[in-house]
Chains A and B, each alone.
Chain A
């Protein structure tokens, strides 16, 4: 079981995490944060294998991972 925690206010919608995820867990959602960006979210968390590639790639350290 892997738990992804998003600091959504720091997300700038660059989409790097969505691109590198090998399991297509992530997407850029419809909701908008205070800075006006549509932030990343986890669509199917049960598929996540905890490889940390999204968090490593995220420029703004938005993603923290619990396993």
Chain B
């Protein structure tokens, strides 16, 4: 018999600290598979954010740096510049990347730093207990918008992939989801491409992945799958927003 699905080596043997059904685990798993398949585990450095993503510190089997809140792109810039042979990626949530770290990510993207950014967008602050994030959907209830997000006072969800795709330097900007096996396969290919761009020295790649938060959304893990399909995907369309390779060919 042949083993056709294996737990990746870029994860350690422990049980992840994420809640049941949390797609952080799914995204961590498929990223670990990509790292295994590219054979770069020994020289990969993961720059972790502040937030639920920091729980990855106990889960990744990689070299890691935990940065100050939102500053992962700045730390990754330093790591990549002093150690250009390392494969560097940041793993950031939406509160980290789109709110407090907005300046860092925009300038890192604008400089075209040669690393990979994984942006996990679950449209809420998970770790701190479910407050509104810049990416919260219109009408979505959070602890700071108990009546649902009202665009008159709270604005509209920020679409980071589209924003960053406007810049000249980034080479690959795309958005994926992981709420069905087919979407998971596509997301994995997107992550692979983002890492391959870095290995080829092409420059900055950002992959946004739509995620869930069963705990703070207040629903069962199974219900979050259809919620993403019906609501999140309507606000955040999937697709490749920028691909330098295709522009040149």
Which residue numbers of A lie inside 8 Å of B, CB to CB? 1, 3, 7, 9-10, 12-16, 19-20, 35, 37, 50, 52-53, 55-61, 63-67
A64-B181 in contact (CB<8A): no
Across the interface, A37 reaches (CB within 8 A) one of B20, B24, B180, namely: B20
Which residue numbers of B lie inside 8 Å of A, CB to CB? 1-8, 11, 15-16, 18-26, 29, 180-181, 184-185, 214, 220-222, 225
In the assembled complex, the Cα of A67 lies from the Cα of B5 at a distance in Å of 9
Given A3-B1, A35-B15, A59-B29, are A64 and B7 also a contact pair (CB < 8 Å)?
Answer: yes
Q: Which residues of A contact B29 (CB under 8 A)?
A: 58-61
> What 9 A-B pairs come out closest when comparing CB atoms?
A14-B21, A59-B25, A12-B20, A14-B221, A65-B5, A55-B5, A53-B181, A66-B1, A61-B7
* Chain A: minimal CB distance from B47 (Å): 22
Q: Which residues of A contact B184 (CB under 8 A)?
A: 56-57
In the assembled complex, the Cα of A59 lies from the Cα of B6 at a distance in Å of 13
* Chain B: minimal CB distance from A43 (Å): 18
Given A53-B181, A56-B185, A66-B1, are A16 and B222 also a contact pair (CB < 8 Å)?
Answer: yes
Task: Select from chain A the residue with minimum beta-carbon distance to B27.
Answer: A59
Task: Select from chain A the residue with minimum beta-carbon distance to B1.
Answer: A66
* Chain A: minimal CB distance from B212 (Å): 10
* Chain A: minimal CB distance from B221 (Å): 4
B181-A61 in contact (CB<8A): no
In the assembled complex, the Cα of A15 lies from the Cα of B224 at a distance in Å of 12
Given A13-B20, A59-B26, are A20 and B181 also a contact pair (CB < 8 Å)?
Answer: yes
* Chain B: minimal CB distance from A1 (Å): 7
A14-B3 in contact (CB<8A): no
In the assembled complex, the Cα of A9 lies from the Cα of B15 at a distance in Å of 8
B15-A60 in contact (CB<8A): yes
Additional A-B contact list (17), CB under 8 Å, known A59-B25, A60-B25, A66-B4: A1-B1, A10-B16, A12-B21, A14-B222, A16-B21, A16-B222, A52-B181, A55-B5, A56-B5, A59-B16, A59-B22, A59-B24, A61-B29, A64-B6, A65-B3, A66-B1, A67-B2
